[in-house]
Amino acid sequence: MPYLVAIGTMALMAFSVALVLAIVNNLLRVEGEARVAITNDGNELVLPLGQNLMAALKKAGYDLFAQCGGKGTCATCRVKVLEGLPPEQITTAMLGPLSDKLRKEGWILSCQLTLKNDLKIELFKPLVMGWPQVAGAAPKAEEEPKAKLSPTAAKLRAVLPGFDCNACGYPTCEEFAEALASGRAKLDGCYPGGAPVRQRLSQAAQEAGVKA
């Protein structure tokens, strides 16, 4: 019987110590860290709370394209938040110039989000300029057949960056070029390309006799 009491006491002490350590570890993590799960490659990052999401991702090896430099005026650094961001925490700045369609899908501007809790996110692959240098981190590009363009659209497509980012409102640069050629889109629609692409588009449109 004394042995049973001793064993029971030791087991209770071990359980108590484990419980205290778990509580302390959880408190430390909640106060100083956020876990960010990235669905594209299955990676999970442990990042400091209070840090800008885009900057934190870049330090971890995920280089998101940001045409405006992180000022929240373009839609290129967007990520889709699948879990961890309640609607009441979404600010106007996080949505920026995103279309209603992208907003409803859960996309926000990573440059305008400060880490406050755990997140599960999806990166927009066409505008991720760099991935962590670990095995299997960078998703393989999916080969998709390209649409045959009209001669005018082909000339306009030649000066577009090819990100297929949907920032212009069209899913591919090919479709945007066709919209430009038919006068359904405007030359300043390529936000990622910025001024250099606008200038080249303007010249190409002028040479092709397009009024956009």
70 torsion bin: left (phi>0), alpha (psi -120 to 50), beta (else) = left
Number of Cβ within 10 Å of residue 206's Cβ equals 10
105 and 57 in a common domain: yes
Q: Residue 71: inside a domain, yes or no?
A: yes
Instruction: Report whether 24 contacts 121 (CB < 8 A).
Output: no
Distance CA 159, CA 201 (A): 6
102 and 44 in a common domain: yes
Q: Residue 73: inside a domain, yes or no?
A: yes
156 and 80 in a common domain: no
Query: What is the span of the domain harbouring residue 174?
Result: 151-208
CATH of the domain at 188: 1.10.15.40
Q: Residue 90: inside a domain, yes or no?
A: yes
Q: Residue 54: inside a domain, yes or no?
A: yes
42 and 103 in a common domain: yes
pLDDT at residue 191 in the model = 76
Q: Residue 9: inside a domain, yes or no?
A: no
Q: Residue 114: inside a domain, yes or no?
A: yes
108 and 185 in a common domain: no
109 and 42 in a common domain: yes
Tell me the pLDDT of the chain (212 aa) as tens digits: 555 445 555 556 655 545 544 444 444 444 589 999 999 999 999 999 999 999 999 999 999 988 888 999 888 899 999 999 999 999 999 999 888 888 999 999 999 999 999 999 999 988 888 889 754 455 555 555 566 899 999 999 988 888 788 878 898 999 999 999 999 998 888 877 778 788 888 999 998 888 75
The pTM of the full predicted model, rounded to 2 decimals, is 0.62
Contacts of 83 (CB under 8 A, 6+ apart): 37, 118, 119, 120
63 and 113 in a common domain: yes
157 and 110 in a common domain: no
pLDDT at residue 161 in the model = 81
Pairing mode, if any, of strands 128-130 and 63-64?
Answer: antiparallel
Tokens of 197: 């692409």
Q: 103 exposed, middle or buried (CB, 10 Å; 0-12, 13-18, 19+)?
A: middle
pLDDT at residue 194 in the model = 76
Q: Residue 49: inside a domain, yes or no?
A: yes
pLDDT at residue 32 in the model = 86
Q: Residue 23: inside a domain, yes or no?
A: no
Pairing mode, if any, of strands 63-64 and 43-48?
Answer: unpaired
* DSSP conformational letter for 79: E
Q: Is 199 helix (H, G, I), strand (E, B) or coil?
A: helix
119 phi and psi angles, rounded to 5 deg: -135, 155
118 and 65 in a common domain: yes
Q: How many domains does the chain contain in total?
A: 2
CATH of the domain at 47: 3.10.20.30
Distance CA 4, CA 26 (A): 33
